[in-house]
Structure 1
Amino acid sequence: MTRHAPISRIYHMADAPAPTGQEAEARNQAAREQAWHGLGIVVLDPEDVASEWLRAALIAEAETRYGRRRHRRRQHGD
């Protein structure tokens, strides 16, 4: 099985290859919208948050609730 980061592993359960590029981004955005409208869950990628202050606050809150990430992607300013 070929690994396609950062796409969810659920795509590897299907017979088709995992989407990439714009297709992956569109599917991820649709899933975020569905989570918000259907369940009231906010799903944000910190790299998509333009405000440094807000990005830092979101990361700090997530780390407080869930712990530090094991594998960090490159963050703004790294």
Structure 2
Amino acid sequence: MSGSVEVRQFLLRQDGGGQLSGVGGLPGQRSGHADAPRVSDDQVRRARIAVASGAQDAEDCAQLLDMLGLTPDDEGNTPVQR
């Protein structure tokens, strides 16, 4: 991404205007068990930042977020947290 303002603005709109910070602490792979820990809001935020840092532009970022289940639905819930 190399500091693309367009991608950062897109990500801020998706994240509700939150602050961009360092990347790290991405969610690990789920085991599929009912007692498995859920993906936290902070993990989703950090994953979105990681996706944005590798995206070529805002359209690429939007497609990647959608494919990874990181785009919130009409109720504000992300598929990755279900």
With normalisation by structure 2, the TM-score equals 0.27
Tell which structure's C-alpha radius of gyration is larger. Answer: 1
More helix per residue: 1
Q: Which has the higher contact order (CA 8 A, sep 6+)?
A: 2
